[in-house]
């Protein structure tokens, strides 16, 4: 845990920011950039209709009673190639569309071939009905994981985050009605801790809850933007 404290040192003098440049579409570009020298990480370059904004992203339209999923083109081929490679894990961005009014929301999946797990991160934990009901989304994502990663264990965010995730605990005075829910920020931070710093799930959530419910989160966003600009 001592090494991860370096991130606090790196961001201490940074100015604050609100959102990651490009929002959810840059979750994967950032992950690919920081993990480019990691021999265990598999870069999925699949897109929908070749659009860069859809890189390695699973889109879920939540406006329907049963959410609809849209995968990158040739997704099965990407999964097959990953499974046959010597890589250990792959990260997929989840873009939840029309989740609340016309707003989107950010989630992510970490698939580990050695552990045979598919782990979902939801920055709000198990969201209350104040904004949306996650139960149908959770069911759809679980079905997606069981279909595409047969024999893998699905790890729900409810198991390690609970009813109230960091996005609900933040002390920052932000309003989801103005598109400032910080879901992308927390998703990228969690992926950074899990994949770059190799913290486990519980350590990552504890670290976030201890150090990143306040202005540090916005400084971390500036840190992310420095990689992307």
Q: Is the pLDDT of residue 126 over 60?
A: yes
pLDDT, average across residues 138-162: 96
pLDDT, average across residues 111-133: 89
pLDDT, average across residues 36-54: 96
Output the pLDDT for position 129: 62
Structure tokens at 134: 């996650």
Domain ranges for the chain, please list them. 3-228
Output the pLDDT for position 1: 57
Q: Is the pLDDT of residue 85 over 90?
A: yes
Output the pLDDT for position 26: 95
208 pLDDT band, cuts 50/70/90, is very high
pLDDT, average across residues 153-158: 97
Output the pLDDT for position 132: 79
Q: Is the pLDDT of residue 18 over 80?
A: yes
Contact (CB, 8 A) for 35 and 195:
yes
Segment 55-75, tens digit of pLDDT: 999 999 999 999 999 999 999
Output the pLDDT for position 178: 46
Q: Is the pLDDT of residue 2 over 60?
A: no
* CA-based nearest residue to 141, from 98, 108, 182: 108
């Amino acid at each position: 845990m001592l090494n991860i404290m370096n991130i606090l040192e790196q961001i201490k003098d940074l100015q604050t920011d609100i959102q990651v440049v490009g929002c959810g579409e840059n979750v994967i570009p950032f992950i690919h950039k920081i993990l480019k020298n990691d021999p265990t990480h598999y870069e999925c370059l699949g897109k929908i209709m070749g659009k860069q904004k859809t890189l390695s992203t699973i889109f879920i339209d939540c406006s329907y009673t049963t959410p609809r999923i849209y995968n990158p083109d040739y997704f099965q081929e990407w999964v097959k190639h990953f499974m046959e490679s010597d890589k250990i894990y792959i990260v997929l961005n989840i873009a939840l569309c029309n989740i609340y009014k016309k707003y989107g929301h950010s989630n992510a999946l970490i698939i580990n071939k050695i552990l045979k797990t598919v782990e979902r991160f939801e920055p709000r934990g198990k969201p209350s009905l104040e904004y949306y009901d996650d139960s149908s989304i959770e069911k759809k994502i679980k079905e997606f994981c069981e279909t595409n990663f047969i024999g893998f264990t699905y790890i729900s965010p409810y198991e390690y985050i609970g009813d109230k995730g960091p996005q609900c605990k933040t002390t920052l005075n932000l309003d989801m009605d103005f598109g400032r829910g910080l879901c992308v920020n927390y998703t990228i931070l969690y992926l950074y801790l899990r994949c770059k710093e190799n913290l486990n799930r519980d350590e990552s959530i504890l670290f976030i809850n201890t150090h990143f419910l306040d202005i540090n989160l916005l400084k971390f966003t500036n840190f992310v933007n420095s990689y992307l600009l």
